[in-house]
Amino acid sequence: MRFISESSEERIPCYRVLDDDGQPFPDSSFVKVSEGVAIKMYNDMVTLQTMDTIFYEAQRQGRISFYLTTSGEEAINIASAAAIKNDDFVVPQYREPGVLLWRGFSMQEFANQCFGNKADYGKGRQMPIHYGSNKHNYFTVSSTIATQLPHAVGAAYALKMDRKDACAVTYFGDGGTSEGDFHAALNFSAVTEAPVIFICRNNGWAISTPISDQFRSDGAVVKGRAYGVRSIRVDGNDALAIYSAVHAAREMAIGEGRPILIEALTYRVGHHTTSDDSTKYRPVDEIEWWRTTQDPVTRFRKWIESNGWWNGDIESELRSSVRKQVILVSLTISKYGLLQLQH
pLDDT of residue 282: 96
What pLDDT, in 10s, does the model give residues 169-215? 999 999 999 999 999 999 999 999 999 999 999 999 999 999 999 99
Domains plus CATH for the chain?
Answer: 35-257+269-335 (3.40.50.970)
pLDDT of residue 336: 53
Q: Is 171 exposed, middle or buried (0-12, 13-18, 19+ CB in 10 A)?
A: buried
CA distance 118 to 112: 8
What is the longest distance spanned by two Cα atoms in the chain?
A: 75
Q: Which residues are catalytic?
A: 268, 272, 281
What pLDDT, in 10s, does the model give residues 259-268? 999 999 999 9
pLDDT-based confidence at 5, cuts 50/70/90?
Answer: confident
pLDDT of residue 332: 79
What pLDDT, in 10s, does the model give residues 319-340? 999 999 999 998 877 665 544 4
For the chain, percent of residues with pLDDT exceeding 90: 93
What pLDDT, in 10s, does the model give residues 40-62? 999 999 999 999 999 999 999 99
Averaged pLDDT score across all residues of the chain: 95
Cα angle at 246 between 241 and 250, to 5 degrees?
155
* Whether the Cβ atoms of residue 78 and residue 72 lie closer than 8 Å to each other: no
Long-range pairs for 32-39 at CB < 8 Å and ≥24 separation? 33/82, 33/240, 33/243, 35/307, 35/309, 37/82, 38/303, 38/304, 38/307, 38/309, 39/304, 39/309, 39/310
pTM of the model: 0.95
* Whether the Cβ atoms of residue 210 and residue 219 lie closer than 8 Å to each other: no
